Amino acid sequence: TESVILARDRAVGTRAVSEALKSGIASSGVSIRDLRATVVPIVRQELRQGDTRAGIYVRCTPGDPLSTDAIFFDSDGFDLPAGKGKSIERLFLSEDFRRADPSAMGRIEYPGGASDRYRDSFVRHVETTVIRKAEFRIVVDYNGGLAGMVFPSILEELGVESIALNSQPRRPDPLDSRNDCAVLSRIVSAVGYDLGVSISTSAEKMVLIDRRGTILSSQRLLLVMASLYWRIHPGQTIAVPVLATS
């Protein structure tokens, strides 16, 4: 049978929505690999490395803790185009979807080891020897997100000394994100570490702070990453957002 990956964040409301989706999907004859509470990058990797047809991530809406989002991914781990998302919404609202016989219900599985597979894949794709020799020291603010359960083991594998802030899961407060970066900035400059990193609760966005406590803007960070890429791949072309600085 066809199968999809389902995952969520730690919010109480998203767990209820996830359970409802799980029941509905199984009743249509599609099997489910439930990763339970995890971060979006792990969902993307599991889709790329597996044979599932699609993925769904249920999260608390950023900036609106009273709302819930369901993010859909294709089999390669990319976000579905807006048009396909609207088609799914129309099918759902019109209740125009398959209903399976009880004997053909989808199976629900709870696979383990996704975090370990992500860590191993991450480490394989970087120059571990170079990073270990550099003996980096960083301060990481996990903002109460699930990255605090994944990223520390990656840093340990790379020999990076780190100070973890807000590593225990908690309800996110998007209004305090800028204040959190200001606090992180002061800590980085006070302890004299190489870098400060603020990771979003979804683990797909980050803010970098240099050793002097300067918060890098998104445009400056884009330029830094482009410069690093061109040092390794000179002459290559990079796709950037339309609003990126020229």
Percent of the chain with pLDDT over 70: 95
101 pLDDT exceeds 90? Answer: no
- What pTM was computed for the model? 0.86
* Residue 210 near residue 195 (C-beta atoms within 8 A): yes
R_g of the chain, CA atoms, integer Å: 20
151 pLDDT exceeds 90? Answer: yes
Average pLDDT over residues 152-158: 95
177 pLDDT exceeds 80? Answer: no
Angle, to 10 degrees, between the axis of helix 40-49 and the axis of helix 114-124?
Answer: 80
187 pLDDT exceeds 90? Answer: yes
* Residue 54 near residue 73 (C-beta atoms within 8 A): yes
pLDDT band at 64 (very low <50, low <70, confident <90, very high): confident
pLDDT band at 117 (very low <50, low <70, confident <90, very high): very high
61 pLDDT exceeds 80? Answer: yes
- The H or E element spanning position 34 is strand 31-37
97 pLDDT exceeds 80? Answer: no
**Residue 186 has which token pair?**
């002061």
Q: What is the DSSP letter of 148?
A: G
State the pLDDT at residue 173.
56
Nearest to 77 by CA among 104, 103, 94, 53: 53
Question: pLDDT tens digits for 217-240?
Answer: 988 999 988 999 999 899 899 888
* Residue 49 near residue 117 (C-beta atoms within 8 A): yes
66 pLDDT exceeds 70? Answer: yes
pLDDT band at 89 (very low <50, low <70, confident <90, very high): confident
State the pLDDT at residue 179.
55
Distance from the Cα of residue 116 to its chain's centroid: 15
**Residue 18 has which token pair?**
């996830």
* Residue 77 near residue 47 (C-beta atoms within 8 A): yes
What average pLDDT is seen over the chain?
A: 89
How is the chain split among helix, strand and coil, in percent rounded to 5? 40, 20, 35
